Structure 1
Amino acid sequence: MSAREAVERLLGVPVTGVRRSSGAVFLVTAEGRGVLVAKEGIGPGATDAEAAGLRWLGEHGDVPVPHVHAHDDEWIVMDYVAPTYPEEGAAEAFGRGLARLHLRGAPAYGSPPPGGPVDAWMGIAPMRNEASADWPSFYAAHRVLPYVRMCVDQGLYDGEQAAVFERVCDRMPSLAGPAEPPARLHGDAWSGNVHWARGAVWLIDPAAHGGHRETDLAMLQLFGTPLLGHILGAYEEAAKDMDAPLTDGWRERVQLHQLFPLLMHAAVFGGGYARQALRAAEAALR
């Protein structure tokens, strides 16, 4: 089914124009709806996961997210938000809003958003959201070891290298820092999903789940988010004001929280990401 057919069927209005934006993403002009994004799901459950994630993240308006108009098993249709340039005020407001969003909480570590599937996606990689009793066991079982196995199967790691990640997982309870309640995470907060528009920062393309708030902060730092210092400074200040300061040593745990996105990228793209993930695991053990 084409983007035009999908939007007309889901919204029940004529489409007056369609152009491909990137990959399986289309910009669509629909009668009475303005410009919309029509996005084809990457695999089973992908559109359900994205729609549920956006609704969950946007529930209280802490950080703006695109409005979802409709979705089915193959397509999701949402508002198009035209990009602008990064601004310091927007960065600081985003930092404060992200702190509030995280503290909205989640039912458990690994829990999917309400109505979201257990088997979801992060980009083009599968990602399992399975509720767990604590963060160290969830992170090891569902965010580190599955991707290590994928990398081993592709010949990216030998047994000795895979054992480094296994040692990290064995020591995860002591490496993770003080326990804290599950946070409401975006889950894939790299710079491409931090969308500067309308004088604010919008979050797009979530891999939302209940997790550790340091994971989102680590992801912001992985691929060079603009005005990062303003974002993190405002986040820290807001968290303190809400009597939920980041725990001591959070900056030293950044590489631990970056293991998942690095391993996911290694499993999908290989090469340098595999080496970077291994260095991060070695650093986490020091």
Structure 2
Amino acid sequence: MAIHAKVGGVTHSVPLQDLPGLTNRTMLVGADVSHPPNRGDNVISPSIAATIATKTNENNLYQATIRLQEGRQEIIADLQNMMEGHLKKYGENTKYLPDSIIFFRDGVSEGQYAVVVQQECKAIRMACEALKPGYKPKLTFVICAKKHNMRFFAKTPNDVDRSGNLPPGTVVDRTVVHPFAFDFYLQAQAGLVGTARPTHYVVLVDENNFGPDNLQRLTNGLCYSFARATRSVSIVSVCYYADIICTKARALVYDEESFSDTQTVSSVTSGPRGLVMKEFDALRIAKLFAKNPAFENVAWYM
């Protein structure tokens, strides 16, 4: 399945009629920012920002963009240009621009919700206006959070699956959620070992007026569209892709001369030391991909 996706194929997809609120004029976007490890010597390596968006009206093929930015900065600095590129690609393939955008944002802590939604929603609006004056698609902006301590358990043994967890598709939107905000917990995956962790979805903007039930069903359905899995995954697929892209892109950031004979790519990208670029260039990876346009049409990150 991974090889099939890498060469541009579609392993499987969820029909639009099973995704409430999603039409052939909707663009899905996932975004994440990966931060470098702390070297401990006052040297900050760049953070990696990645976005991935559907480029067809069937919402099963994606285009990825990557930018480098100041280390430890959570706001995506060049989101306007990244979104312009996604919208142009969508327009080239479909001959029209999307009427609505659903933006899933990963990796945001609770204290940063306000500044993220303010600045990144503004960047999305500016991208739409720059592409076509007066163009204002309806925007839904959702935070996807995995780093929390919330777990859910069944009241009776009859309510669990074979792993002892709640069945996939379990939604909790009462009692333990915010009393005023639009948020919910979704355990979309079937647990394998241990206690399954739900994903906390916080809706900061909902101009599409999904409402709780439709957005919960839509989010759960999108968890079944991950290209290299035969079952549902724990987080909406576009966020999963963005997270994978950030991880794989880190190996492309640094100069080959920075590696010593005893170091490997895996150890320096994930270990405590990290590496430093000789010269900072926000478009470093984008320039690498521009040399081979085939990267635009395949899921190289799978």
TM-score bucket (shorter structure) = under 0.3
Higher RCO (Cα < 8 Å, 6 or more apart):
2
Q: What TM-score do you get using the length of structure 2 for normalisation?
A: 0.24
More helix by share: 1
Q: What TM-score do you get using the length of structure 1 for normalisation?
A: 0.25
